[in-house]
Amino acid sequence: MKYRKFGKLDWQVSALGFGAMRLPVLDRANPTNINEPLAIQMMRYAFDHGVNYVDTAYGYHGGRSEIVVGMALKDGYREKVKLATKCPAWMVQTADDYDKFLDEQLKKLQVSKIDFYLFHGLDRTRWPQMQKLGVLSRAERAVADGRIGHIGFSFHDDYDTFKKILDDYDGWTLAQVQYNYMDINIQAGTKGVEYAAGKGLAVVVMEPLRGGRLSNPPEPVTKVLQNIPPRRSAVEWALQWVWNQPEVAMALSGMSAMEQVVENVAIANRSGANILSKDEVALYDGIRDAYKGLSPIPCTACRYCMPCLQGVDIPRVFEIYNEAMMYNDPAVGRFMYRGGRGLREDQRADKCTECGTCVELCPQKIQVPEWMKKVHAMLGPPPAPPSAPKPAA
Predicted local distance difference test score (pLDDT) of residue 101: 98
Q: Residues 47, 29, 187, CA angle at the centre, nearest 5°? A: 65
Q: What is the percent of the chain with per-residue pLDDT over 90, rounded to a whole number?
A: 76
Domains of the chain (ranges, CATH numbers): 3-285 (3.20.20.100), 314-379 (no CATH)
Dmax (CA) of the chain: 80
- Whether the pLDDT of residue 370 is over 80: the answer is yes
* Segment 125-151, tens digit of pLDDT: 999 999 999 999 999 999 999 999 999
Question: CA nearest 141: which of 106, 105, 96, 175?
Answer: 96
- Whether the pLDDT of residue 382 is over 60: the answer is yes
* Distance set, CA 245 to CA 191, 263, 376 (Å): 12, 21, 39
* Segment 47-62, tens digit of pLDDT: 999 999 999 999 999 9
* Segment 145-155, tens digit of pLDDT: 999 999 999 99
Question: Lowest-pLDDT range, 2-6, 172-176, 186-190?
Answer: 186-190
Query: b or e along 334-352 (b: 16 or more beta carbons within 10 Å of the residue's beta carbon)?
Result: bebbeeeebbeeebbbebb
CA distance 266 to 272: 13
Residues 6+ apart with CB under 8 A from 345: 339
Please report which confidence band the pLDDT of residue 393 belongs to, taking 50, 70 and 90 as the band edges. low
Residues 6+ apart with CB under 8 A from 66: 56, 57, 58, 60, 85, 105, 108, 109
Higher-pLDDT residue of 250 and 186 is 250
Span 271-291, mean pLDDT? 91
* Distance set, CA 246 to CA 173, 178, 190, 271 (Å): 17, 16, 12, 11
Please report which confidence band the pLDDT of residue 222 belongs to, taking 50, 70 and 90 as the band edges. confident
Predicted local distance difference test score (pLDDT) of residue 306: 93
* Segment 1-38, tens digit of pLDDT: 999 999 999 999 999 999 999 999 998 889 999 999 99
- Whether the pLDDT of residue 227 is over 80: the answer is no
- Whole-prediction pTM value? 0.86
